[in-house]
Amino acid sequence: MPAPRKYPQELRDRAIRLVQQARQEEPELSVTAAVTRIGARIGVNPDTLRGWVKQADIDAGKRPGTTTEDGKRIKELEREVRELKRANEILLAASSFFARELDPRLPW
């Protein structure tokens, strides 16, 4: 079970939107300056806000990286692979056991 989020999703969305608006209004404004300014206003750590903005840009296709949706799918697939490997090990052990039961001359 994932840890509870410190910030509600509405606050995250609003903070991202405010940073994006600030950068549109002032094109020379860097991401660092924007997240520092907005983060102080809404009470969010600038590094946390920078990560949110970066992930929002990735999800929007503005920068390369793994989207949130793709990341979730990758985690699901990795979990499935672990389960399948475990099941395979169990089946191999069982087949070896039953093979010995059928023919005790086998070297296993």
Instruction: Give the 3-state secondary structure of 4-65.
Output: CCCCCHHHHHHHHHHHHHHHHHCCCCCHHHHHHHHHHHHCCCHHHHHHHHHHHHHHHCCCCC
Q: Look over the chain and give the mean of its residue pLDDT values, rounded to a whole number.
A: 91
- pTM score, two decimals? 0.71
- Digit-coded pLDDT (tens) for 79-99: 999 999 999 999 999 988 887
pLDDT tens, position by position, 27-68: 999 999 999 999 999 999 999 999 999 999 999 999 999 999
Residues 92 and 57: their CA atoms lie apart, in Å, by 46
